[in-house]
Structure 1
Amino acid sequence: MEKLNILRHLMMSRYRRFKTRSQLVEWQQHQVARHLDWVTQHSPFYQAFSGKPLAEFPLMSKSLMMEHFNQLNTRQLDRDQLFACALKAEQERDFSRSVLKDITIGLSSGTSGQRGLFLASQAERHCWAGYILGRLLPSLWMPQRIALLLRANSPLYQTVQRGHIRFHYVDLTQPLDQWMAELTAFNPTLLVGSAQALQLCAQEHQTLSPSLVVSGAEVLTPTDRALLAAKFKCPIHEIYQCTEGFLACTQRDGVMRWNEDIVHIEPHWLTPDKTHFSPIITDFRRRTQPIIRYQLDDVIAVVNEQGSEHNAAQEEKGQLKIARSSPVVFQAIGSIAGRTGDLLKLPGANHTPVAVLPDLIYRVVSLMSEGPLDYRITQIKINRIQIESDLQHAAIAMALQQLFKQLHVDVRQVHFEYRPRPQWHPLTKQRRVVNLWSS
């Protein structure tokens, strides 16, 4: 029964088609309405919103969810008990303990300053496994060895572990030579991990030859992507997976798109010209821990698919598997540009701060560098920028000055400080652009 449930979701994920955007939107609205009706009957927190449209539900955040966790979840579970269970499993590195009855318990990494809980029932694990395999597997018929480079394992990742699909958990808390030896022996066909862990793997390996590399959990900058492509010589895909859900991934046309057959996305616009937004998500498949109008602090860059440079380049190389004439129903993502708290805020004319989006910095740094470049840009005061890099401080500073001028920053007030290349650790998230002054 378990295998059939996973297979059912896999087939829906991979083969369900919507002929038009309007057909998808109509279907999605029906799914959301059904979901809200169920949640308001089973979650004490949402009972007062019975019969109301999605737009009238409150915005949710991590702090608000943790504050009301006991009333919000639909299984009468206690937040403190779950935290204790998950922390013990993580500390003892025995993740089989992170299960209570049929509920898998997980912890977020706490990058934003607060660790969050996420729950998944057995049915939700089957749905997640089916959808993620349907989206990511290059082939359903060829044997696949999937290596997961993770800070912490979870029974969620072991939901599929039979037949011609095998998983291997790489424990990044172990010594590098130990987990690299295990990874080499496993010889994965799919390599999945954070941008930082994948870079470390690319630099250390001698014989790995995956057919697909999938980056997630951290921003994949153009420089990072180029390094991975050069080292592994295979397609580099992205997955937007967080504690709030399986939100987006690179689809078979080579474009990263929202998974709008399981999540509804509302944009909270960050720029007047609507080029960047923070997503407000509603996952209409999750019931144990409802995710309704949850506002993330990520910055998403939009993309204009008419004449998209990415699509044009893929088509020229013959890599597109879906014809350009077929209707595009799932909305594309230009890029995941970082966190809202890491927008730089620099002095402008008339003492008005100018916001500088992280993806603009990724782009100018990648353009000025002919090869792989390790760097971090940090705002430490209103007028002070710290550059950490491999001896390319002056070139990076010049590229940043040109960008700042275009954005009407008063560059006469901006001063640069130089430091050696950053020291990364795979257990902490890699952030290329950081705002320590106003965060």
Structure 2
Amino acid sequence: MAGIKSTDDILKRLTSLVSHARTNVPYYSNALAGIRDARLEELPILTRDILQTRSVDLLARMAPDRLLPGRAIRIETTSGSSGAPAHHFQTAQNAMIDAGLLLRLYRELKLPIAGQFFNLGLHRAGQPLLETRIVPGAYTYWNLRSAQNGGARVEYEVALASVRPTVIYGAASRLRELAEYVLNAHLAVRPKAVLSSYEQLSAATRGLLERTFRCPVRSVYGSTELGLCAWECEQGALHVQADQVIPEVVDDLGIPVPRGTPGRLVFTSLKSWLMPLVRYDTGDIAALRRESCTCGSTFPVLSPFEGRRAAYLYTHSGRPVSPYKIMSIVDRTGISRYQLVQREKGSAELILDCTDDAVDLCVCEAEISAFLGEEFRLYKNAGVPFIYTATGKLNPVLSFVATQDALLVAEETQ
């Protein structure tokens, strides 16, 4: 299994990156002014708000004329599912490093060097149904759209009538959509691996995917800005590829918390020098596990991974809580597909498929209330459409409470 080969090498790369950022990047020249030989945890946190509003200042200039570098640059734009989209500038070297990480994942899963790749992720406008890619192997990509943007059934029929997938990758809700289609069509689809990203993979959905496709199902973690960062091993532990992205878990003040304690997940990318990301706040909540993994990898493990801060639910008293314990309680009811939508503190709307309309939520409500230590109400709403992002992402939890509170504060200060 993979692991950190040389801590000294990573420290040297980090030192060089910070020195480069201080010298060549306007934002860091100002942010690090007066800070010399500081440890990583003493450097300022880079937030998505800064990335959104000061992207030009985060770009490296070339000495001596201090112009932007004259080389091939790609602009990647985030989905905006956690707010306004942000832009990240990348070079071909970034793409090569990410391709190397993808090859590492393929080798761990013992995937062949060629095959058919069913891509059920978030698609950009104009993306063709079929693409051929040679990195990390010669794969034909089938970019299958969701039912939310005009695809799904017809495209599933065309793809599965032509080939059988070697790898299936995509958002958890999209993977479930395909699995249900395969089951209803009585098809035998046996890929080498299923990779889930973008959305939290619930135990119920994981079980469905394992039963349907009869292959390893692994979560992968990454972002547009950071690229591929972590993936699950055969033991189900989410290992950060710490030779390329350095993880930290910090409190609200940016101070590192002890291992095993949940907090803000921040990464320093050793991949990006055109637009350095030093202590970049992902917007997610996680903890770094204390003990090592039995799989043999020495890479650090994110556990528990609690998902986005923006998805936190609020009790009646105003206490924010991670939604994933609540989701695990809902999962035990046997509900196959749902979305939790909170519009006021102390309660949430549970949007269900019509097939789950008969589920009694009384026991579920009582267990959630006992866990929280105060009453929490669930309101069942079957047959109402799920709420998707503009890019087709289905967030399992949506909370509008924090947004409402922010608006009230803004009104009070006017």
TM-score, normalised relative to structure 2: 0.79
Q: Are the counterparts in 1 of residues 132 and 138 from structure 2 also a CA contact under 8 Å? A: no
CA distance in 2, matches of 1:192, 1:290: 28
Gap change, CA 1:344 and 1:304, over 3 Å in 2: same
CA distance in 2, matches of 1:338, 1:224: 16
CA distance in 2, matches of 1:336, 1:429: 19
Show CA shifts across 1:127-152 (max 9, x none).
11111121234226553332322332
Q: Which amino acid aligns with 2:202?
A: T
**Which deviates further from its counterpart, 40-49 or 424-433?**
424-433
Show CA shifts across 1:134-177 (max 9, x none).
1234226553332322332589x989527952140415245223
Please give the secondary structure, in 1, of the residue aligned with 2:328: helix
Q: Which amino acid aligns with 2:240?
A: W
Counterpart check, 1:175 vs 2:151: yes
Q: 2:212 aligns with which of 221, 226, 231?
A: 231
The alignment's C-alpha RMSD in Å is 3.2
Q: Which amino acid aligns with 1:129?
A: A
Show CA shifts across 1:80-100 (max 9, x none).
xxxxxxxxxxxxxxxxxxxx9
CA distance in 2, matches of 1:360, 1:294: 26
TM-score, normalised relative to structure 1: 0.75
Q: CA deviation at 1:52?
A: 4.3
CA distance in 2, matches of 1:356, 1:57: 28
CA distance in 1, matches of 2:59, 2:298: 32
Counterpart check, 1:63 vs 2:49: yes
Q: Are the counterparts in 2 of residues 222 and 362 from structure 1 also a CA contact under 8 Å? A: no
Q: Are the counterparts in 2 of residues 300 and 337 from structure 1 also a CA contact under 8 Å? A: yes
Show CA shifts across 1:3-59 (max 9, x none).
xxxxxxxxxxx76x447xxx54x4432321121112222212212427443334321
Gap change, CA 1:302 and 1:164, over 3 Å in 2: closer
| Percent identity of equivalent pairs | 19
Counterpart check, 1:338 vs 2:307: yes
CA distance in 1, matches of 2:320, 2:362: 17
1:162-311 paired onto structure 2 within 5 Å: 165-172=138-145, 173-184=149-160, 185-205=162-182, 206-245=187-226, 246-251=228-233, 253-269=235-251, 275-300=261-286, 303=289, 305=291
1:79 counterpart residue number? none
CA distance in 2, matches of 1:342, 1:388: 16
CA distance in 1, matches of 2:201, 2:117: 20
Q: Are the counterparts in 2 of residues 103 and 122 from structure 1 also a CA contact under 8 Å? A: yes
2:365 counterpart residue number? 400
Q: Are the counterparts in 2 of residues 378 and 387 from structure 1 also a CA contact under 8 Å? A: yes
Q: Which has the higher helix share?
A: 1
CA distance in 2, matches of 1:282, 1:292: 4
2:24 counterpart residue number? 42
Q: Are the counterparts in 1 of residues 103 and 136 from structure 2 also a CA contact under 8 Å? A: no
Matched positions, count: 371
CA distance in 2, matches of 1:116, 1:56: 25
Please give the secondary structure, in 2, of the residue aligned with 1:297: strand
Gap runs ≥5 in structure 2: 63-69, 404-414
Q: 2:100 aligns with which of 125, 130, 136?
A: 130
Gap change, CA 1:160 and 1:121, over 3 Å in 2: farther
1:379 counterpart residue number? 342
